[in-house]
Structure 1
Amino acid sequence: MAAVTSLLDRWVAAARGAGATAADPDLEAAGGYLLGRWSEPQRQYHDVSHLTAVLDVVDEYAGLAPHADRVRLAAWMHDAVYDPRALGEANERDSAEFAKGLLTTLGTPPEVAAEVARLVGLTAGHATEDTDPDGELLCDADLAILAAGPDRYTAYTEAIRREYAHVPEDTFRAARAQVLVSLLELPSIYRHAPLRDAWEAPARANLERELRALAG
């Protein structure tokens, strides 16, 4: 219960910081609804633990983002809609639309709601511009797991496979390999220098090791 309360407090603080004008009970109800979404049974990796991990990175490196509360809200929203059976970028698109609607309902200024929705959309391909430090921090935080230690990285890949248990093994391997190759082809997986310096090398090592395992 304490962990849930802490997350709800973080949600309310971020919403207020981004300009939401709804009453506290309404903000808390929205946060509770979001936590319910993040706790859906189909989620094996994209769950409350992932949300918390992304928020923790955003908090630790908030000084890198001009609008850190918008990034926090985007973290809350970026997998608010998550169906492993969805095609293409449907989850990110639907999460972005959901974010804009919910934040507007909570009295967030329209331009802020639109910007949070834009940030959410970036997580589809994790491609950002050098002039977008807010987007860079969100994408860096979302991809932080790639630089995890071997045991945690293995647990992550196993959780992803469970989310896609409905996909035949050969099909999964081919699709997963395509995702890994697209990440390895990025000029840099991480955009902000402090994160790139700490995480780029271990992330690439993890991705290359997984790619070899998929090929084998």
Structure 2
Amino acid sequence: MPHEPLESRWLQALLPARDDAGDDARGGAGHPSPLPYAANLIKRWSEPQRKYHTLDHLTAVLDRVDVLEEYAADPALVRLAAWFHDAVYLPERSTNEERSARLAERALPEAGVPAEKVAEVARLVRLTVTHDPADDDANGQVLCDADLAILASPPDAYAAYAAAVREEYGFVPDDAFREGRAAVLHHLLTLPRLFRTPHGQREWEERARENLRAELTELTGPTEPGE
């Protein structure tokens, strides 16, 4: 099966969060098998309008959660939030995070996740609108750092990321895209910190800012914002 590793990672996220944690993948405690949920999410992440927000992005975020899990209060819930955070994605809409959170709120109770854990997953998904977790929000810091880690890629990988984002917004005219993208980059550069976990601050902050400044210069010219 081509997606078997991702299905295994879905089980790694879901099974510890269920109210029958410890049961195997066959359902348990009257719940349906988790595997159709994985198949549905994988299908969503494979939709043709996605150029950056693809299965590769999902896998990368899950990989980064693995790196950062020591900082999370509940790594399984962060992993579930990673699965759902862009599960609904249409580039022309601004409600993707909200719709993705609502998808989690519908699917996870049926899959056997208790209400308080469902609420935490949905909260984390909604947090990716701002990527601004509170200082005491360990789960939020891990998810946001994992999602933003692409910004700290080597230059070639960062260029491929930026090109994929542009392709997703192919319906936007060049001038409007440059203006909007520049505003996003400027906002990120004015934040006191892009990353909140110790690992993110140590390993990713400087490289991410270099990449953001380089892209902003390419979009707008050599004048860079004050930070």
TM-score (normalised: structure 1): 0.95
Structure-2 residue corresponding to 1:10:
9
The answer to whether structure 1 residue 23 and structure 2 residue 27 are counterparts is yes
The correspondence for 2:168, drawn from 163, 171, 196, is 163
RMSD: 1.3
What are the within-5 Å matches in structure 2 for residues 1-216 of structure 1? 1-2=1-2, 4-19=3-18, 21=20, 23=27, 26-87=33-94, 90-216=95-221
Structure 1 match to 2:23: none
The alpha-carbon deviation at position 141 of structure 1 amounts to 0.2
Contact 1:100–1:114 under 8 Å retained in 2: yes
Equivalents in 2 of 1:159, 1:166: separation in Å? 13
Unaligned runs of 5+ in 1: none
Please say if residues 18 and 111 of structure 2, whose CA atoms lie closer than 8 Å, have aligned partners that are also in contact. no
User: Which structure: greater helix fraction?
Assistant: 1
8 Å Cα contact 1:71-1:119 kept in structure 2? yes
- How far is the alpha carbon of 1:23 from its aligned partner? 1.1
SS of the aligned residue for 2:33 comes to helix
Report the TM-score when normalising by structure 2.
0.91
Name the CA shift for 1:5/1:20 in 2 (closer, same or farther; >3 Å): farther
Q: For 1:192, give the aligned amino acid.
A: T
Higher-Rg structure is: 2
Give the superposition deviation at 1:50: 0.2
Aligned length: 213
Q: Within 2, Cα distance between the matches of 1:116 and 1:177?
A: 31
**Which amino acid counterpart does residue 194 of structure 2 have in structure 1?**
I
Letter in 2 for 1:183: L
Whole-angstrom distance in 2 between the partners of 1:148 and 1:36: 27
Report if aligned partners of 1:150, 1:206 keep a CA contact under 8 Å in 2.
yes
- Report Cα offsets for 1:29-69 as digits up to 9, x if no partner: 00010000000000000000000000001012211101000
Paired residue type of 2:93:
A
Deviation at 1:20, TM superposition (A): 5.3
